[in-house]
Amino acid sequence: MKERDPGASGGTLSGTFSPASVFSLRSVRWFELDWHVLLLALGMLGLGMLFIHAMSEADASAERGSDAVHFSKHLEKVLVAAPAMLLALALRPRFLRRNALLLYGVTIALLLLVQVVGENRNGSQRWIALPIGFDLQPSELAKVGVILALARVLYRNRLERAKDWGPPIAIALLPMGLVALQPDLGTALTLVPITLGMLYVAGARASVLVRFLAGAAVVGFCVWQFQIGVHDYQLQRIRTWLDGFHAEDLVAARGGPAFHSYHARVAIGNGGLFGQGLGEGVANQAGYLPERDCDSIFAVLAEEFGLLGTLGVLFGYGLMIALMMGSASAIRDRFSRLAAGGIAFYFAAQLCVNVSVNLGLVPMTGITLPLFSTGGSSLLTTFALLGLFLGLASHHEPSLDRDSFRV
Amino acid sequence: MVAQRRFLPLVAVLALALTLIALRLVQVQVGEAEVWGQEAANLVRSSSLVPYHRGRITDRDGTVLAQDEDRYQVAFVYREFRRGHPLAQVAHARAALELRAVPLGEALAQLEPWAAALVAITPAQVSAFARGEALELAGVAVPVSADPEAEQRARRASDLRWYAFELLHASPREQRELRFDEDDPRRARPLLELVAALRKQQPDVLRAALAQELAAARAGLAELAVQLVGELAGLELAGDTPAERLVDALERQRRAIEDACADALFEEAAGFPAGRLSAETLGRAFDLDWLAALLRWDGARLASWCAGRRTRYEGQLYGLVVPRLLARAAVEKEQGGKHPAARLLDGLAELYAPAGERARDDRPRSWTELRDLAVLSELDGRFEDAAPSSDYVAAEAVLPLNDPELQALAETETDPWKLLGLATELAGAQALDPQAPASGAEASARWAAHARRISSDDPLQRRELGWLVRGLEARLGAAVDRALLDLCTREEGETRLRFARGRLDLVLQQEKSLVRDAQSRPVLLCEAPPYPLVHLLASDTVRFRGFEVRPTTRRRYLVPGADGQPVGRLIVGSVRKPSLGELFAQIRDERRYVSLRYQALRDRAEDAELTELAGRLFRPDEWTGGAGAEDYFDPELRGRFGWHELEGLAGRKALTLGQPPVDGQDVELTLDIAIQRAAEEVLAHPELPDDPQTDEAWFRNPIGAIVLLTVEGEVLAAASAPLAPGEPQPGRGPERSFVRERTLTMPTFNPPGSVFKPFVAAFALDRLGYDAQRSVDCAPLAQGDRVGGHGDLRCNAIHGACELERALQVSCNSYFAQLGERFSDAQLDELEQTFGFGLPSGLRVFGTQGRSGLREEARIPRPEAQRAARESASGRRRRANGLVYVQANPMQVARGLCGLATGWLPEVSLARAIGGERLPPRGEKLAIGEPALAFVRHAMELVVHAPGGSGYLKGLDEAALGFRLAAKTGSGDYKAFQIDEQSSASDRSDEAEGRVRKHTWLGGFFPVERPKAVVVVYLHDTARTASHTAVYVAAQFLRREPVRAWLARALEAERQAGEAR
C-alpha cells in the first residue's frame, strides 16, 4: 500500500495557516526537552563570550582603533539572535515539514539576491546589509534550508533505488554551487558532511557513500594535479597547507600566503599544556592573528586555555553533539529525526572543519565555530538550529511513520 | 532501533575525528610547544641592541689616543608620530574624511580649526558617515556614498572617532562608556562635550586644554626646527619658517613610508615589485583603486606613486643589487667556489627568476636552469577576469640568460668570462649606451682584465655589470609591457586588470602588519644632535611623540696633530663599517647563528658555537677596524653587543630581559704620543736647511717616514708623510697624492743605500774574518773623472786609500764594491737574514692568520730576469752598497740597527699590553760577535762626529741634540728625472749633470755610550743625497724636546734600576 504523505495534502502556508499552526509551546514536552544539550550549548556560548570580552579588553588596552574587537557588539548580536532560538523551539514540526521546501526556496532566493545586492568584502559577495546590528550572510541560512529540505525529501525516500538519490543531491548541490560562486568554497564544502550524514541516516548504504567520498577524493586530486577550474590562490592555499605540516616550512613562509596559518599555529602552540591565561595569549597581545574573534577563535581558546582546557572544551562540544545525535535517534517522527540529525551534523561539521583549519589539518578556509565565534549570521543560524533541534526533539506529534514502529 | 543503529556509526566517526584532532592538538601544543613558544615570544618581543664600547687605544704613558664616545641620534618613527602627535592626528583624521593624503603642512596651517571640528563631531554623525551618509566638517562636505563598502566608510568613520578621542586623551574606559544605543539622545552631542561630561568638567575647560596642547605642539615643532636647522639646511624644503620646513621634511618621510607601504601591498598582490614595470604600464594596466582606498590616496597621489616606482627600483638595482652581485662573486672566488663570471650569471638569473623559483639559501641555482621569467610567468592567476594565455608565459629566450643556445654553450665553453661577454652583447647593452662594449669579445676582454680582483667597490666593474643589467631590464621590460597592455586590450576596449579576489584577500590579511611594519621603522633624522636637542626630546617625550633619542657610540681620536689629523692616524688606524663582501662572506655563519638561536633544544657544544658566532659575526652598522692598529687588534678591541628585550606590547608587561654588552679590551701601544707628534710635525713641515746643496722641492713637498724604536724594539714613533693628499711635484712622480703608512711598506722601489754598509761591515768582520785595516784605493775609473769608482760602480768622491773605518765614515762606494766581491751570493743572503732584512719585523705580534691591518711589506718579489744580474760580480758590488737588489722598509732598517747597537735583534712591537696584560719582549741574540759590532758602532759615531763624516756638522752633534748620536747616511738611486715644462730649474740642472732621483736615509742610535733608541729617517724621491737632505730632517726631529725628555726618563729609569740592583 502506498503510504500517504502527510506533507502532500497540507500545501505550503495554505488552508490551515494560523499562528497556532506554526508555533506551539504547548506541544513542547518540557520535561523531555534536551536540557543537557541546552546547558552545554549555553555553557559554550558563555565561554565564547568570555573570550570575546577578554579580546575586547586586550584591544582596548592596545588602542587598536578600528581593528579592535568590541564585546558590546558581540553581545548585541547575541541578544538579537537569541530570540531565534525561542521561535525555532516553538515551531511545530508538522509546519516545518510542510513548509521545508518553501524555507529552502527562501534561502535559495537569498543566495541569488546576494549576488545582486550583496556587499563585496575582501573580494567576496556574501553579505546583505541589515539595520539590526549585523549583516545577513545567506550562505549561513542556507544550511538551515538544506537541512530542512533534505529532511523533507528524505522523509519518504529511503534511497532504495538509484533515482531516489536525485532529489536530495540536487537539493544539496544547488546552494553549494551558489555559495561557491560568491566565492565561499569553505562554506559550500561544509554542506557535504551534513548531506552525507543525513543520507546515511535516511538509509543510504555506507559503501555507496564511501565510494562517493573516494570518487570526490580522486576528482579533488585531479583538480589539484592538473589545475583545472581552480584559482591560483586556491592552489596556493593547498600548497601552503601541505608545507604547513612542517613547523620550519610554516615559519619560513610566515610573511607570505601562510600568514594566517602561521599565526594560528603560533597561538595554539604557545598555549602549551596549561595555557597563557585569559586575554594573555600572543594572539590578543600582538593582534596579528586574522579573524581571531571569528574563524580563528579556536586558536585563541587553545592558546589561553592550553591543551588540557582545550581538550575539555572539545570533549564538552563533542558530548553535546553526541547527545544531540542520541536524542535525534530517539525521535519517532522521521522528518524530525532527520532534521535533528542534520542539525547535529551541522555542529559536528563546523566544529571539525574549524578546528582542523586552525590546526592545519585541512587547508585554510573561513568557517565559524558555532557558539564561540562572533558573526551575526552565524549566531542567528546557530541559535535557530539549536532551537529547532530542541523543539524537534521535544514536540510530541503523532506519527504514523514506518520507522516509528520499528524496534 | 533502526534509527539508533544508523546514528551509532556516525557517533563513532565523530569520536574518531575528535580523537584525530586531539592527537594533532597534543602534537602542536606539546611536541612543537617550544618552537611556537619561541615564535610567540618573538611576536611580542621588542628587542634592541645595547652598543658595546670598543676598547681604548692608549700610548705607553696612558694617554688615550682613541676611544668610543657615547652619543645620541635622533630618529623619527612615523607610527608613533601618527598616533601621538596632534598634527599627525589631525592630518590623518582629515585624510580619513576626505579620502586623500592630507599633507602635514596643510594640516599645520589649519591645525586649530580642524582639531576643533574633529572633536565637535557627534557619535550620530560618525555612525551616519559609516553608513554612507553625507558629512560636512570644517568646510569639507563628503557626499552620500553609493557604495559605502568600497569607500571604506565604516573604517574611515572608526578612524575619525579614534583620532578625535586621541586628541581628547579619552581613556579606553571613557571610550567604552561613550558607545550609545541608536536612540540615545546623547549621540547628537559633540564628542568633546560628552568626554567633558564624563569627567565632570565644563566643555570650555576641555576646549581650553585642547587649545593649549595644540599651541604646545606648534611651539614644540618650532623649537625642534630651530635645533634641527643645520640638518634641514641641505634639503630643498618648502616653507618660510623653520617649523614649516621641518613639517615639510616630515611630510617627505611620510610620503616615503606610505610609498613603502604601497610597495609592500602591491608586491603581495602581484607577486612582483611595482618597479619591475614602467611607470606608464603600472598606471595604465592595473586597477589600483583598492590600494588607493587602503592608503587613503586620491588619484594624484596614486599617480605620483606609480610614476616613482621604476626610478626607485632602478636606483636599488644599480646602487645595491649590482654591487651585491659583485660582492657575492668576490666572496665565492675567495672561498674557492664557483668561477666569478658563472656566479655573476647565476646571480643575474636569480634576479630574473620567478619569485617561487628563487633559491632560499645563499646559493642561487645555475643560470643554465633558468626557464621562466619573473613577471611574465607570474601573470597567470593574478587577475580576476583576464586569463593570460601561454603566449605570455612562454618567456624562453626573452633574455640571453634563458636562451637555450647560450645555456647550451655553457657546457662547452671553458672561459665563463666569454659567456658573460656574450650575454652583454645579446642583451643589446650597446644600443642603450654607446660606451658599453660593442661585442661579446670586447665585453669578455674587459671582464678578464678585472678577473684578478672582483670587487663591489670598483666603479668600472659596477659599470660593466650595470650595462648588462640595463640590457636585460630593457628586454624584460619590453616583453612585460607588451604582455600587460595586450591583456588590457584583449577584452572589449581597454580595461584595467583587476587582481584576483583571492590575492587581495591575502593582501588584506597582511595589510595591518605590512603597514605597521613600514611605519614603525625608525628614520635617522639627526646623526649628531646638539645637547639642547637631546635634552628637549628626552625631557618631554609626550610632546614630541615620534621623535626618539637613541644611544649610540662614535670612535674619537683624541690627540690632534699635524694638519688637523689625529696624531698617529696612519699607524693607529681607523674604523669603518663592514663591507658588503664581509657581510656576504658570513652569510652561512649567520644562517647557522639564526638557526641555533631558534633551535628549541641545544647541547653544550651548540651553546658554545652560538656564543662564538654571536661574538664573531659582524652587524651591518657595527664599527670595525679599518686600518692600522685598529684593524690589526680588532679581535681584541671589539666587544660584544648587549641586548635587552621588552616582552609584551605597548608596555603592558614591560618585562626586561637581556644581557649587558661586553666592552672590548684596551690596547696600550708602545708609542710615545709626544714623540709621534714631533715626528709627524717634522715630516709634515720640515724646515728648509741652510744648505745650497739641499733639495728645496722635497722640503716643500715632503714624502717620507721616521721611525724611532727603543733598542728593545718598541715603537716610540712611526710617522709617515704626507698625511693629506697633495698635488704631485712636477717631474717627481705621483706619490705626493697618496696618503699611506710608509714605515712598514715599500710602495716604491726601496733600496737602503749606504745605510746598509754598517751591516755589511759587521758581517764581513765577524763571519768572513775580514781585516778592518785592509786598505782599498778609491780612484777615478777614467782620467778626468771627478769621482772614484770600482768596476761599474761610481763613488760620491775620490777617497783615495781607505780602511774600513774611514770607508764607513765617508761612505765610500768603491771600498764596499770591492768588499762585496769577497762575498758569495749565499753569504749576502745570510747577511740580510742575520739583520732581519726581507723578514717580517715582528710588529704583527699575533701573526697574519685571520688578521688584517698594519700591512707590512717585508720583501718585494723580484722579477726572475733580475736574478742572474744580482748573482753577478756587479750585483754583489751593488748589494754590498745597499743598492738595487736590497730592499728594506724603515722598520726593518731600524730593527737591524737595534741589533748593531746592542747585539740583540728584537722583534718590533707596537703593543705593550692588551686588556692590562703586558706582552713579553721578543727577539734573539744577534749572531755577530761584539768586537765587530763595536767596530761598526765606533765608525758610525765618526760619521757624525769626525770631519769628513757624511753627518758631520749637520746639526747632529751632541751640543745640538743633547746626546751623542752614532749614525749612517744612505742614498739609493730611485728613478731618472721626468723633465717637462713644469720642472724646476734645479731638477733640470740635476738631470743635465747626470743625477737621478733618490731615496735618502739616515739610520742611527743614541746615546752612543749606552744605546737606548734607534732612529731611522727615510725620505722619498729627493734630488740630493742624504747628507744634504735626510740628515737635516733627522736633526730637526732629534732636537725636539719630547725625544730628549723620553731619553732622560729612560736613563733615569735605568739608573734607578741599577741602584735597586
Nearest to A314 among B21, B268, B510 (CB): B21
Those residues whose C-beta lies under 8 Å from the C-beta of residue B204, and which sit 6 or more positions away, are none
On the question of pLDDT at B564 being above 80, the answer is no
CA-CA-CA-CA torsion sign (A182, A183, A186, A191) = positive
What pLDDT, on the 0 to 100 scale, is given for residue B594?
A: 73
Phi, psi (degrees; rounded to nearest 5) at B68: -80, 135
CA-CA-CA-CA torsion sign (B1029, B1030, B1033, B1038) = negative
On the question of pLDDT at B376 being above 90, the answer is no
On the question of pLDDT at A403 being above 60, the answer is no
Instruction: Flag if A203 and B648 touch (Cβ within 8 Å).
Output: no
Size of interface A-B (CB pairs under 8 A): 204
A72 inside 8 A of chain B by CB: yes
What pLDDT, on the 0 to 100 scale, is given for residue B495?
A: 79
On the question of pLDDT at B416 being above 90, the answer is no
Dist CA B728 CA B738 (whole Å): 9
Nearest to B7 among A201, A265, A267 (CB): A201
- Chain A residues 124-163 with CB within 8 Å of chain B: 124
pLDDT in tens, A225-239: 776 766 666 677 777
Burial classification of residue B195, based on how many CB atoms lie within 10 Å of its CB (0-12 exposed, 13-18 middle, 19 or more buried): buried
Q: Is the pTM of this model over 0.90?
A: no
Residue % of chain B over a pLDDT of 70: 94
Q: Cis (ω within 30 of 0) for the bond into B722?
A: yes
* Amino acid present at B118: L
CA angle B364, B597, B577 (to 5 degrees): 65
Taking CA–CA distances from B165, the nearest residue in chain A reads A65
Nearest to A307 among B2, B25, B503 (CB): B25
Nearest to B500 among A232, A322, A331 (CB): A232
The mean pLDDT value of chain B amounts to 87
Name the H helices within B27-62. Answer: 33-43
Reported as a pLDDT band with limits 50, 70 and 90, residue B989 is confident
Taking CA–CA distances from A131, the nearest residue in chain B reads B131
Reported as a pLDDT band with limits 50, 70 and 90, residue A304 is very high
The full DSSP string for B53-105 is PPPPEE-TT--EEEEEEEEEEEEE-HHHHHHH-HHHHHHHHHHHHHTS---HH
Dist CA B430 CA A161 (whole Å): 78
What pLDDT, on the 0 to 100 scale, is given for residue A131?
A: 65
In DSSP terms, B1019 is beta-bridged to B704, B1000
Those residues whose C-beta lies under 8 Å from the C-beta of residue B376, and which sit 6 or more positions away, are B392, B393, B395, B398, B476, B479, B480, B483
Nearest to A259 among B11, B173, B510 (CB): B510
**SS3 call for B361:** coil
Reported as a pLDDT band with limits 50, 70 and 90, residue A2 is very low
Q: Is B406:B422 a contact under the CB 8 Å cutoff?
A: yes
Pick the range with the lowest mean pLDDT from A139-143, B112-116, B897-901, B1030-1034. A139-143
Nearest to B44 among A61, A285, A322 (CB): A285
List b or e across B553-591, with b for residues whose CB sees 16 or more CB atoms inside 10 angstroms. bebebbbebbeebbbbbbbbbbbeebbbbebbbbeeebe
What pLDDT, on the 0 to 100 scale, is given for residue B602?
A: 63
Residue from A86, A19, A24 nearest A380 by CA:
A86
The mean pLDDT value of chain A amounts to 83
Residue from B809, B827, B834, B833 nearest B768 by CA:
B827
Q: What is the number of other CB atoms lying within 10 angstroms of the CB of residue A352?
A: 24
The full DSSP string for B941-993 is HHHHHSTT-TTTTSS-SHHHHSS--EEEEEEEEEE-----TT--HHHHHHHHT
Residues of A in contact with B26 (CB under 8 A): 307
What pLDDT, on the 0 to 100 scale, is given for residue A341?
A: 94
A207 inside 8 A of chain B by CB: no
Residue B666 per-residue DSSP state: P
Q: Which three cell numbers stand for residue B675?
A: 714623540
Reported as a pLDDT band with limits 50, 70 and 90, residue B406 is confident
Percent of chain A that is helix, strand, coil (3-state, to 5): 70, 5, 30
What pLDDT, on the 0 to 100 scale, is given for residue B650?
A: 43
**SS3 call for B188:** helix
Dist CA B982 CA B989 (whole Å): 14
Instruction: Flag if B21 and A206 touch (Cβ within 8 Å).
Output: no
On the question of pLDDT at B386 being above 70, the answer is no
Counting DSSP H helices and E strands in chain B, the numbers are 46, 25
Nearest chain B CA: its distance from A250 CA (Å): 11
What pLDDT, on the 0 to 100 scale, is given for residue A13?
A: 45
Nearest to A269 among B7, B32, B154 (CB): B32
Domain coordinates of chain B in residue numbers?
78-138+150-259, 338-499, 673-1060
Q: Which three cell numbers stand for residue B716?
A: 716610540
Residue to substitute from A285, A301, A336, interface B, most B β-carbons within 10 A: A285
Average pLDDT value for residue range B746-762: 92
A407 inside 8 A of chain B by CB: yes
Average pLDDT value for residue range B61-89: 91
Reported as a pLDDT band with limits 50, 70 and 90, residue A15 is very low
Pick the range with the lowest mean pLDDT from B352-366, B571-585, B724-738. B352-366
- Decide the pairing of beta strands B642-647 and A124-127: unpaired
What pLDDT, on the 0 to 100 scale, is given for residue A332?
A: 84
Instruction: Flag if A352 and B21 touch (Cβ within 8 Å).
Output: yes
Q: Cis (ω within 30 of 0) for the bond into B1007?
A: yes
What pLDDT, on the 0 to 100 scale, is given for residue A7?
A: 41
Q: Which three cell numbers stand for residue B733?
A: 712622480
Average pLDDT value for residue range B598-607: 67
On the question of pLDDT at B363 being above 50, the answer is yes
Burial classification of residue B415, based on how many CB atoms lie within 10 Å of its CB (0-12 exposed, 13-18 middle, 19 or more buried): middle
Residues of A in contact with B381 (CB under 8 A): 231-233, 235
On the question of pLDDT at B911 being above 90, the answer is yes
**SS3 call for B227:** helix
What pLDDT, on the 0 to 100 scale, is given for residue B388?
A: 54
On the question of pLDDT at A69 being above 90, the answer is no
The residue with greater pLDDT, B231 or B707, is B707
Reported as a pLDDT band with limits 50, 70 and 90, residue B493 is low
Instruction: Flag if B501 and A407 touch (Cβ within 8 Å).
Output: no
Residues of A in contact with B502 (CB under 8 A): 123, 231-234, 236
Residues of B in contact with A253 (CB under 8 A): none
Dist CA B348 CA B429 (whole Å): 15
Instruction: Flag if A270 and B36 touch (Cβ within 8 Å).
Output: yes
What pLDDT, on the 0 to 100 scale, is given for residue A344?
A: 95
What pLDDT, on the 0 to 100 scale, is given for residue B385?
A: 64
On the question of pLDDT at B500 being above 90, the answer is no
On the question of pLDDT at A37 being above 70, the answer is yes
On the question of pLDDT at A386 being above 90, the answer is yes
Q: CA of B384: how far to CAs of A141, B286, B508, B833, in Å?
A: 28, 11, 16, 81
Pick the range with the lowest mean pLDDT from B170-174, B568-572, B895-899. B170-174
A229 inside 8 A of chain B by CB: no
Instruction: Flag if A310 and B6 touch (Cβ within 8 Å).
Output: no
pLDDT in tens, B634-678: 999 999 877 665 555 444 444 445 567 889 999 999 999 999 999
Average pLDDT value for residue range B834-845: 93
Pick the range with the lowest mean pLDDT from A22-26, B176-180, B306-310, B352-356. A22-26
Residues of A in contact with B519 (CB under 8 A): none
Residue bearing cell 596614486: B302
Instruction: Flag if B7 and A328 touch (Cβ within 8 Å).
Output: yes
pLDDT in tens, B218-260: 999 999 988 888 777 777 777 788 888 899 999 998 999 899 9
Dist CA A335 CA A202 (whole Å): 10
Helix (H) or strand (E) run with residue A335 in it: helix A334-359
Residues of B in contact with A180 (CB under 8 A): none
pLDDT in tens, A309-324: 999 999 999 999 999 9
Pick the range with the lowest mean pLDDT from A153-162, A392-401, B333-342, B416-425. A392-401
A405 inside 8 A of chain B by CB: no
Residue bearing cell 568557517: A367
Q: What is the number of other CB atoms lying within 10 angstroms of the CB of residue B648?
A: 17
Instruction: Flag if A359 and B14 touch (Cβ within 8 Å).
Output: no
Q: Is A122:B290 a contact under the CB 8 Å cutoff?
A: no
Residue bearing cell 619561541: B38
Dist CA A252 CA A240 (whole Å): 11
Q: Is B669:B572 a contact under the CB 8 Å cutoff?
A: yes
Residues of B in contact with A234 (CB under 8 A): 502
Those residues whose C-beta lies under 8 Å from the C-beta of residue B775, and which sit 6 or more positions away, are B801, B802, B803
Average pLDDT value for residue range B822-842: 93
List b or e across B829-839, with b for residues whose CB sees 16 or more CB atoms inside 10 angstroms. eebbebbbbeb
A206 inside 8 A of chain B by CB: yes
Residues of B in contact with A345 (CB under 8 A): 10
Reported as a pLDDT band with limits 50, 70 and 90, residue B717 is very high
Taking CA–CA distances from B153, the nearest residue in chain A reads A66
Nearest chain A CA: its distance from B201 CA (Å): 24
Residues of A in contact with B162 (CB under 8 A): 65-66
Instruction: Flag if B10 and A252 touch (Cβ within 8 Å).
Output: no
Reported as a pLDDT band with limits 50, 70 and 90, residue A363 is confident
What pLDDT, on the 0 to 100 scale, is given for residue B937?
A: 96
Instruction: Flag if A268 and B36 touch (Cβ within 8 Å).
Output: yes
Dist CA A334 CA A329 (whole Å): 9
Q: What is the number of other CB atoms lying within 10 angstroms of the CB of residue A146?
A: 26
Residues of B in contact with A231 (CB under 8 A): 381, 500, 502
What pLDDT, on the 0 to 100 scale, is given for residue A134?
A: 64
Dist CA B496 CA B936 (whole Å): 93
Q: Which three cell numbers stand for residue B395?
A: 618567456
The residue with greater pLDDT, A401 or A47, is A47
Taking CA–CA distances from A70, the nearest residue in chain B reads B176
Taking CA–CA distances from A64, the nearest residue in chain B reads B162
Instruction: Flag if A325 and B36 touch (Cβ within 8 Å).
Output: no
Reported as a pLDDT band with limits 50, 70 and 90, residue A133 is low
Q: For the packed helices B203-227 and B531-539, what is the interaxial angle rounded to 10 degrees? A: 160
**SS3 call for B375:** coil
Instruction: Flag if B29 and A268 touch (Cβ within 8 Å).
Output: yes
The residue with greater pLDDT, B395 or B299, is B299
Dist CA B717 CA A249 (whole Å): 59
pLDDT in tens, B882-905: 998 888 999 999 999 999 999 999
Domain B673-1060: give its CATH superfamily. DD-peptidase/beta-lactamase superfamily (3.40.710.10)
Reported as a pLDDT band with limits 50, 70 and 90, residue A222 is confident
**SS3 call for B119:** helix
What pLDDT, on the 0 to 100 scale, is given for residue B651?
A: 40
On the question of pLDDT at A117 being above 80, the answer is no
Reported as a pLDDT band with limits 50, 70 and 90, residue B718 is very high
A234 inside 8 A of chain B by CB: yes
